[in-house]
Amino acid sequence: MMETDTIAAIATPLGTAGVGLIRVSGPLAPELAERIFRPAHPNCAWQSHHLYHGDIVSPDGKSVLDEVLATLMRKPHSFTGEDVLEISCHGNPLILQTILEQLLELGCRPARPGEFSERAFLHGRMDLSQAEALAALISAQSAKALQIELSQMKGSLTRRIDELRSLLIDALASMEAAIDFAEDVPEKEIPAVSGQMLRAAAGMELLLSTYRQARLFTEGLRVVIAGKPNVGKSSLLNRLAGRKRAIVTDIPGTTRDLITATLDLDGTCVRLTDTAGIRPPTDAIEKEGIDLVWQQMEETDILLLLFDGSKPLTDEDIQILEQSQTYDVKILMAVNKCDLPPAWSNLLPDHPLYGKSLLRLSAKFGDGLEDLKKAITGLTDPGEAPAEGVLITRVRHKLALEAACNSLRAAQTCLTTGQSPEFAAFELAEALNALDEITGKKISDDVLARIFSTFCIGK
């Protein structure tokens, strides 16, 4: 099917825009360019990667659908490795849909989500990790995420995995030689194999250590705002988001569900969640909302506990404070409503917040927000990235690296305990297979289909 089908799709988002793009890939692309494009100048040689100005016309040539720019990129030097036709037209959805329907009538079929990238992978134009990075680049929500995904799309992770593969292949080759030519291979070569395995394992562990940092940049830092009712959680969310995302009233229990907002703090995507006020619930709906709060508090990256500085601490405040200490999360504590007369300031040793680092702010007027933002980004503590800047950003890659590390440990155990070299060779081959899953050298069709199905149509 990859060699015979020609696919087409609108490659720009739905909606009215100045320009829209339609992409065609497959053997019919050159013929379709001749049939539906009328060049503004008669000398249209359709040189590869040249831009031509003209009109898209109906197959009978009687109707002009739009004035466009068209490019034909001939195989194998195209994104998909096939003949590719790209039509840049005006971004009216009616125009885009009309041109697409005409292409479908002339022999194309609608592209599946991610099918252009899938064809690029299958034709060797990129490996699987690069294709995944391309999809993530499109949806990146912070400057740092863009940098990470662009680096991976350019092959930074691929090159690092290839270096690790080379170590494993050399080790496996030596091990296979030891098996096939046991009498001719000196025993002193086995320590050399062990050294290669240790270097490969160290490289994999270094990559694994970057996962948390990369996830914070690509998926976003999760910050949950928690506290009793009416301490200003919704006001703080609205202030940080720069727009009204949550209802703010003087009535306790207004927020009953999770309300989220996404913001960029110094290049880091932060997913902020406002939660229901914690108190003895008044009905089943509020109880469900409060149960969600406890769950979110346990699963977040940073827990922001908010207290009302204009009123004395209550049993709810103390309960939230004590429960939060049982979670393995980073905690920030902030005293809100500092624009009002304080109910407590100089804390005595018996006060529950004595000795705690407290931020002071006014969500109503915006005081202290810059300090809060710096505190949030300061708590990420991502650690040092590898010198070459390679990070892993996907769970799939993490699991594959962990499997490779486990196989290497098993191979090392085989060597140190004097087991037959066949056992170590088997574990080395398993480690190599796990690495190959990252770049797609060895991947099942089901996994491949699942990965590309998450891509957008037209990419």
Q: Are residues 339 and 287 in the same domain?
A: yes
Q: Are residues 114 and 149 in the same domain?
A: no
Q: ∠346-349-354 over CA atoms, to 5°?
A: 65
**Half-sphere exposure in the Cβ direction for 62 (13 Å, CA):** 1
The per-residue DSSP string of 117-143 comes to HHHHHHTTSS-HHHHHHHHHHHH--SH
Note whether 288 and 349 are same-domain residues: yes
Residue 216 lies in a domain: no
Q: Are residue 38 and residue 144 in the same domain, yes or no?
A: no
Domain termination residue (choose one: 335, 356, 378): 378
118 and 192 belong to one structural domain: no
Q: Is 245 left (phi over 0), alpha (psi -120 to 50) or beta?
A: alpha
Say if 301 falls within a structural domain. Answer: yes
| Token pair 């068209």: residue | 70
- Same-domain pairing of 107 and 248: no
Determine contact, residues 117/135, Cβ cutoff 8 Å: yes
Under 8 Å between Cβ of 380 and 267: no
- Domain region containing 227: 222-378
238 and 184, same domain (yes or no):
no
Tens digit of pLDDT at every position of the chain (459 positions): 445 799 999 999 988 999 999 999 999 999 999 999 999 988 889 999 999 999 999 877 788 999 999 999 999 999 999 999 999 999 999 999 999 999 999 999 999 999 999 999 999 999 999 999 999 898 887 778 888 899 999 999 999 999 999 999 988 888 887 776 555 555 545 656 778 889 999 999 999 999 887 887 777 788 988 888 888 888 888 888 876 654 444 544 444 457 888 887 877 788 888 887 776 666 676 667 777 877 888 888 889 999 999 988 888 888 888 888 888 888 999 999 999 998 887 777 777 888 788 999 998 898 999 999 999 888 765 444 443 568 898 999 999 999 999 999 999 998 888 888 889 899 999 999 999 999 999 888 888 888 888 888 888
Which tokens in the block code for residue 264? Answer: 């960029």
Asked if 201 and 405 count as a contact pair (C-beta separation under 8 A), the reply is: yes
**b/e sequence 202-212, b meaning 16+ C-beta within 10 Å:** ebbeebbebbe
Q: Could you tell me if 435 and 398 lie in one domain?
A: yes
Is 56 part of any domain? Answer: yes
What pLDDT was estimated at residue 90? 96
pLDDT for 383 equals 46
Is residue 311 in some structural domain?
Answer: yes
> Which residues touch 437 (CB under 8 Å, ≥6 apart)?
396, 400, 443, 447
SS3 content of the chain, % helix, strand, coil (to 5): 45, 20, 40
Q: How many domains does the chain have?
A: 3
Phi-psi region of 253 (alpha: psi -120 to 50; beta: other; left: phi over 0): left
Residue 186 maps to which CATH number? 1.20.120.430
Judge if 112 and 73 occupy the same domain: yes
Is 352 in the same domain as 204?
A: no
Of the candidates 78, 101, 126, which is a domain's last residue? Answer: 126
Label residue 59 left, alpha or beta by phi (over 0 means left) and psi (-120 to 50 means alpha). alpha
